[in-house]
Structure 1
Amino acid sequence: MITAYISIGSNVEREHYLPAGVAAVAKLAMAWRMSRVFEAEPVGFEGDNFFNSVIEIKTSLSLVTLQQSLKEIERQLGRPDNAAKNQSRTIDLDILLYGDVINEASPTLPRSDLYKFAFVLWPMSELCPELVIPGQQQTIAQLWQQFSPQQSLWPVE
């Protein structure tokens, strides 16, 4: 059984697509939990604000199968295969961590978003503050304490 962390975000009909994405990801897990949902301004483009969260899953799926399954969920929820990086989207699912795996090929693990975006790091700090990122010395809580967000972000009530 592997513990994986997946970021999830939506800024198109987000009240519909975020819960739909969570429900679909939960079906891939033997057990799961998630952070609070945060609202965040888009990074790198103009658009509606995102709803973001991080889901922790316990899964027996291989990394390749998990990645393929997440891409299929994105397709089923209306995200085109050729979607550009910085644009509005119904759903975005990215593997942040997959056990202790360090991978330089796709998907790159640990995902660099952990070091760049408050909408990833704040939810991770809620789920697993004492987790040490594979190949690093710092815990998630330490990274969050040192982080200076470049975007506005707040919990959704």
Structure 2
Amino acid sequence: MINTMHTTAARPPVSAWVGLGANLGDARASVLAAIEALGRLPRTQLLRASSLYRSAPWQAEGADFINAVAELHTHLSAPDLLQELQALEQAAGRARPYRNAPRTLDLDLLAYGAARIESARLTLPHPRLHERAFVLWPLAEIAPERVSAAALERVAGQRIERLG
């Protein structure tokens, strides 16, 4: 028998950033529960999470979103982490009837260390993170070195509010 835990655990931890959002049901509770669930992922540690933010739908319709960004240290590979994130979305009742549909929970893998990945299933860093105030403002809160002032200026016209 091969001990896969040992070989998988030997992978050094990687910092990963996850964008969280919801605009159906109790969106605030969904995002807070998802932050807690990130801390329970296998071989993963939740380092910190931003405040919650309310933002207007971006290239979508529906109610305002509740958003946040979390930083993880994980021994999971990027594809395995994505699979875990998608399982959390499914557990929260995520449906994908059409692109940018309202959602009970959306978890986007924004960055995985310095990895650059382009595959049919995963592109890292997230290809649109620099266009989205609902990602940049919470990311700047917990990892200011990852977001330039110029990037924040480019999204200044998007409505976003930090919640208390």
- Output the TM-score relative to the length of structure 2: 0.84
In the alignment, residue 18 of structure 2 is paired with which amino acid? I
Given that 2:136 and 2:152 are in contact with CA atoms closer than 8 Å, whether structure 1 keeps it comes out as no
Q: 1:152 aligns with which of 140, 153, 159?
A: 159
Match of 1:25 in 2: 38
In the alignment, residue 159 of structure 2 is paired with which amino acid? S
Given that 1:10 and 1:51 are in contact with CA atoms closer than 8 Å, whether structure 2 keeps it comes out as yes
Q: 1:6 aligns with which of 18, 25, 31?
A: 18
Superposed CA RMSD in Å reads 1.5
Greater C-alpha radius of gyration: 2
Match of 2:28 in 1: 15
Match of 1:110 in 2: 125
Given that 1:37 and 1:53 are in contact with CA atoms closer than 8 Å, whether structure 2 keeps it comes out as yes
Deviations along 1:42-87, one digit per CA (max 9) or x if unpaired, are 122321110000000011111111010001000000002x442221
The list of structure 1 runs, each at least 4 consecutive aligned residues, that deviate by more than 6 angstroms after superposition, is none
Q: Partners in 2 of 1:58 and 1:20 — Cα distance?
A: 19
Q: 1:89 aligns with which of 103, 120, 124?
A: 103
Identical counterparts, % of pairs: 32
Query: Tell me, what secondary structure is at the counterpart of 2:111?
Result: strand
1:143 Cα deviation from its structure 2 partner: 4.1
Given that 1:8 and 1:93 are in contact with CA atoms closer than 8 Å, whether structure 2 keeps it comes out as yes
Residues 74 and 31 (structure 1 numbering): CA distance in 2 closer, same or farther, change over 3 Å? Answer: closer
Q: Which runs of 5 or more structure 2 residues have no equivalent in the other structure?
A: 1-12
Q: Partners in 2 of 1:92 and 1:143 — Cα distance?
A: 26
Deviations along 1:65-118, one digit per CA (max 9) or x if unpaired, are 1010001000000002x4422211000000000011001113111112321100
Q: How many residues align?
A: 148
Q: Which moved more, 1:11-20 or 1:85-94?
A: 11-20
- Output the TM-score relative to the length of structure 1: 0.87
Given that 1:113 and 1:120 are in contact with CA atoms closer than 8 Å, whether structure 2 keeps it comes out as no
Q: Which runs of 5 or more structure 1 residues have no equivalent in the other structure?
A: 132-139
